[in-house]
Amino acid sequence: MKIKNLLLFPIVALTLFACTDNDDEAEIPQAQEPQLIIKFKFDPAQIRLDNLGQPSTVATGNAAQSPIFNTIASHYLELTQNATTLLGTGTILYRGQETTAGGLNAFDFSKAKIVAEGEAFLSIPLSRIQAGSYEWVRCSLLYQNYNINVLSSGTNYVGTLASFVGTRTYITTHNIGNYPFVVNGNRDQGYWAFGLQGFPYSTSGQAPAGATTVPNPIASTSPIPANSCVVTGKFANNLVITGTETSNIEVTLSLSINNSFEWSEVNADGKYEPSAGENVVDMGLRGLIPSFVR
């Protein structure tokens, strides 16, 4: 099997809205109080959006696939009241921990909360959240782990990709299955690692800074920083929090993974073949639809 050059490709990563404060208390659920519970969903059938939140198709000359997500981690979550609420001025629910152990300030991967679909990412007493009517959610991502299909020498394979999408992340050692990746330092946005399933092959690399799709339907009134990964989504009906709730509220953040793994084609067959020189051009999540149940 010829896999020497199987994954010598650049991963176009998402950048992250950088935060400098930590909020450990938000992760400590208090069972005696009604909670706001946050969960993630990965939807390959959800509408595929561009940076401005408009429907988008795969560009001519490219191909794409919907990866099979395993886990995800967010560094920042915020509820905002309306389309003019600027980033950081809404109600911040969560801000991940950071460290200077690697030199420059970086997100601390060892403290990241990594969850699967449907698993509670966050549980906060509703009494701690500012009462109000919230129309939008902002979610900035730190890490993604998913399976992709690759083609090499006419044979199809499945591999697992770990993508560190924060602005800068401090990593000691991370693992993909049985493959350990020892870093012990900072890695800029776009650091990735790959492990082939069923065969002894793994590799890692650093993608150059580049454009990636980050849907923000309210960019004209509430922009996000350039090269950030703050995905913005609107509730169908405003989430109203009074602070006097007597039962839990569960919020699901449905992320569109509809053809979110996109590459430039060399062999026009719709198969991702990095050994033929097919390079990734976009890894951005393709939209956020938040919903809630009481």
Span 202-220, average pLDDT: 82
> DSSP characters for 119-140?
SEEEEEEGGGSPPEEEEEEEEE
Strands of the sheet containing 35-43, edge to edge, are 120-125, 35-43, 249-256, 288-293
Q: 51 or 226: which carries more pLDDT confidence?
A: 51
pLDDT of residue 211: 63
Q: How many residues does the chain have?
A: 294
Closest CA to 283 of 70, 115, 65, 112: 65
pLDDT at 54 over 90: yes
Kindly report the number of other CB atoms within 10 A of residue 276's CB atom. 15
What is this structure's pTM?
0.86
Q: Which residues contact 31 (CB under 8 A, 6 or more apart)?
A: none
Phi, psi of 276 (to 5 degrees): -95, 5
Span 144-157, average pLDDT: 92
Q: Could you tell me the pLDDT band of residue 78, with boundaries at 50, 70 and 90? A: very high
> DSSP characters for 159-191?
EEEEEE-SSEEEEEEEEETTEEEEEEEEEETTE
Taking a C-beta distance cutoff of 8 angstroms, is the pair 63, 57 a contact? Answer: no
Q: Could you tell me the pLDDT band of residue 229, with boundaries at 50, 70 and 90? A: confident
pLDDT in tens, 12-25: 333 344 444 445 44
Q: What is the CA radius of gyration of the chain?
A: 19
Span 162-177, average pLDDT: 89
Report the distance separating Cα 76 and Cα 141, nearest Å: 7
- The mean-pLDDT minimum among 23-27, 144-148, 282-286 falls in 23-27
Closest CA to 5 of 254, 203, 293, 249: 203
Residue type, 278: E
Taking a C-beta distance cutoff of 8 angstroms, is the pair 58, 258 a contact? Answer: no
